[in-house]
Structure 1
């Protein structure tokens, strides 16, 4: 079912004044244009889920919901439609005598104009092929759902974080390690239960999703848990060796269940601004000095936002700072991101103790060098791009 409707009205009412007709016509045209420009394709499917018992507890139904969503993720991420698939959500579970019916809404980027009917048939065909051999879905796992973004199980205590210290367990639950052949390459930030945002330059030499995995937790070895990468979306305008548009999205499966140790960060509104000298925090598994090796333990550092006026001075970075970039750190050096921290988060806390992702570790000259602070991809600048690809 396509959830796209445009309300119309008749012009036969002669009592309407001409200026009202003109105004309403203009508004209607604007609605059509905006709707076409922002439209995502919605499809609703009913899936019958085999189970071993009729009546189920609320916890078992929640388990079934997550398992169904993971299954549909895997179906479409591994299909010919993986470039258009965004997400799915179970909107209803109906227990029946021996089965449970799941009503699932799936969101896709719209196909080319005039191909919507073909697209809908393709979606149904893929889903039918993948689910033809129905399998039982387990419902015996106890889940803890934590829906709040940007919340830490460990509160930040004044003066507790000393730059460069190892991070406490669960302190930064959105931190991710991007690995190739089980070796840490870059950091990343969890922004949804199946999405991570990172730097595009992490995939400059290898963007094959099958050769990447994600690791969660405050240590690389042993990891808290791991996930397979299903899709890597690099910004369309990223063109190395240029440093502009250094942002990428990673879709993984199965989805994660949020807990005290794994939780998504909040994303700021596109209009949000963060003044210079604001205290912000960087985390990562990167080297402790230029030329060093990545660390097994997650580390954290407190730095400050540096104004563009200062960062664009000739003795700092000059005209190398482009739109969509900003600096953070200290001009005197010492505390900075380093090799292996690329793609990781720069976060800020609001007055409600909620954390937001405002920067992505992108580049810099050496590590902690005087007048050479870290340069970050500005998340607010790319907020609409993130939403267009993930629905978040």
Structure 2
């Protein structure tokens, strides 16, 4: 089972077992978009065209995604760091193909993890955290910041086209994709999404669908990566259903706009964000 599978809320260890058994039973008859696949229905992006993307690894293996908010801060999903030894974690910036040597890369250790104080593992409510790097990123063509929504911004309307990127695995044997993948998705009305999830969704989430009959979305090891609508991070990959990209269980993201004040409060308590790589319009 991939190390950072984003599962439905409340599945826990039993859910892990169910996914492992299901994966074993379906190896010979693969369902398109099933668990353990890469970004579903997507494509490889142009190298370094998503310079805000971050890979978080443990023991030399990609574990989760994230995005660079500030030269010393990364935004990711809180569930990625449960039961993890932060001293073994690395944050990789400027990457495209994780298995290749790339001169554009910058690698940092995790100096601190700030989890949202109301994060609820059982329901994945408030599934967001900040990682403070042990140094400052050097911005350039392959490493850039991604903006947050403006304070008080409403979430994107249903039907809005957005994109989700990641280095999710290409099989249940944890084979990585050739490089950074991306899929275009559309925001789904939250009430319709909640019906699909039988009313289990917590507040402050976003959902997406493919917009057509194809299975399209995120999968295991894409957790923590951003849902980018326009030029801002409006969502953070949180969890999906048993089969990745299945429209019966739409993809669920943390709604970033609900956490903008908290994010900047954390950053300000450590440093002055605008003296270290953000624009005044974002604060």
Using structure 1 for the length normalisation, give the TM-score. Answer: 0.54
Other-structure match for 1:327: 207
Other-structure match for 2:12: none
For residue 360 of structure 1, the aligned residue among 225, 236, 245 is 236
Task: Specify whether residues 267 and 171 from structure 1 end up closer, same or farther in structure 2 by C-alpha distance, changes over 3 A only.
Answer: same
Larger radius of gyration between Structure 1 and Structure 2: 1
Shift of 1:288: 4.1
Matched, 1:301 2:183: yes
Shift of 1:389: 0.5
Does the Cα contact within 8 Å between 1:199 and 1:248 map onto a contact in 2?
yes
Other-structure match for 1:135: none
Does the Cα contact within 8 Å between 2:236 and 2:255 map onto a contact in 1?
yes
Aligned residue pairs, count: 223
Question: What are the residue-to-residue correspondences of 1:1-392 with 2, within 5 Å?
Answer: 163-206=41-84, 208-216=85-93, 217-221=95-99, 222-223=101-102, 224-273=105-154, 274-288=156-170, 293-313=175-195, 316-330=196-210, 332=213, 334-349=215-230, 355-365=231-241, 366-391=243-268, 392=273
Aligned CA-pair RMSD: 1.9
Does the Cα contact within 8 Å between 1:288 and 1:338 map onto a contact in 2?
no
Shift of 1:163: 4.6
Paired residue secondary structure (1:385): helix
Paired residue secondary structure (1:312): helix
Does the Cα contact within 8 Å between 2:65 and 2:224 map onto a contact in 1?
yes
Does the Cα contact within 8 Å between 2:123 and 2:202 map onto a contact in 1?
no
Shift of 1:253: 2.4
* Range with bigger deviation, 289-298 or 359-368: 289-298
* Range with bigger deviation, 267-276 or 256-265: 267-276
Paired residue secondary structure (1:357): strand
Task: Specify whether residues 178 and 296 from structure 1 end up closer, same or farther in structure 2 by C-alpha distance, changes over 3 A only.
Answer: farther
Task: Specify whether residues 184 and 296 from structure 1 end up closer, same or farther in structure 2 by C-alpha distance, changes over 3 A only.
Answer: farther
Paired residue secondary structure (2:192): helix
Task: Write the distance in 2 (CA, Å) between the matches of 1:333 and 1:385.
Answer: 36
Higher relative contact order (CA 8 A, sep 6+): 2
* Range with bigger deviation, 260-269 or 323-332: 323-332
